[in-house]
Structure 1
Amino acid sequence: MMTNLFSIFDPTTEISKIPLNWTSTIMGILVISTSIWLIPSRNSMAITLLLNKLHNEMKTILGKGSSNKGNSFIFISLFTMILMNNFLGLFPYIFTSTSHLVLTMTLALPLWLSFMLFGWTNNMNHMFEHLVPQGTPSALMPFMVIIETISNMIRPGTLAVRLTANMIAGHLLLTLLGNNGPMLNQPLLTVLIIAQILLLILEAAVAIIQSYVFAILSTLYSSEVN
């Protein structure tokens, strides 16, 4: 029984007290057919085209330095993982792991910490330069240092909360509308079904956009420490 609206996001599925919800993060690998990768097809060509586009865009953001070779593949893997989990959450009875801060913060915080440790260890002068934007008046420099420091500190939180909030918002709207179905007559029920289908299409677009935003922002944060 659902005690409150947000209980639909509670990780409560278990067998013999062994929680199973977080297995959804790797469930997508089990349902993807190996023929997608082994046999040339439209699916494999579309995936290859998407990954190549992402690789070229992230390579441009990171720059062409020798220290950046291969770094884009880390963020492409991050994009693919988040995208897979976002799409799995659109299916009935599958736990949406990206709607929990436990997962999103686990992805964002280690990335941000590694960027900060690398930047302050190897490029300390460059990191200090980022605290004062070019052209800032002398009187405003102390305030800009405080503002830039705070904005830098909250980056992992904004990455995690942005992804979580967007995943929760659409699912809550679908749940609220779906709960009204049994109480509607035939004409209104038809309108509700059409609205649910349109919202599901919107959620699919949000799933792609949010995984792209998470990966691109992580790439931008990485480029700032070089």
Structure 2
Amino acid sequence: MRILIVEDEARLAGFIQQGLTQAGHVADVAATGPEGLERAAATPYDCILLDLMLPGQSGLDVLRNLREFGLSVPVIILSALTDARHVVSSLEAGAVDYLRKPFAFDELLARLLITGRKTAGPAGAEALRLADLVLDPLGRTVTRAGRPLSLTNREFAVLDLLLRNAGRVVTKTRLAEKVWDVEYDMGSNVIEVHVSQLRRKLDRDFAPAPALLETVIGQGYRLREPVGD
């Protein structure tokens, strides 16, 4: 998921961003209400984590403006305001959930998983398949020929993107933008390293079964159906 954190407490925002990144998500941070609204309007986020007490514009006003602009992105409120009237006001304004501070990070991840299940369309929730390879995007599991694959968060994200574009070349630039949330640095080999590790787990460990992941020289990478004999 690509997630926007709108939180003015820098240490908390950094903690959440680091935790989400380690869990395999892409996370951006906005420190004020107006900045959060601007980022949300410019980028198609999968979820927004929104504090209520923000400089420039309150979180509740940000939420109302999002809905007035026709943006239906799921919003989870993270707030130290614990009385029922704030919860009710937030839900009535269009929030999908309300998590009181302080919270356990595992609970936040669970709320995000539930939100993803509720809001994902059939195409986003169902398993992705190619030959004997199966990826469950919500359960975050991968199997080939019925055997589970142990992937890192980055490897999982790379495979998810390749599977959603099966048969088509995915460029290194697109991988960098979607998985690392950065512009592609031609001098870096970080993508090659991760793809090499993924290839080993996906293909080499299953030899002599047909390889699924191929490098398209000068273009990028592609998952394809095995070629029959």
TM-score with structure 2 length normalisation? 0.28
Q: Which structure ranks higher in relative contact order (CA pairs < 8 Å, sequence separation ≥ 6)?
A: 1
Structure number with higher helix proportion: 1
TM-score with structure 1 length normalisation? 0.28
Structure number with higher strand proportion: 2
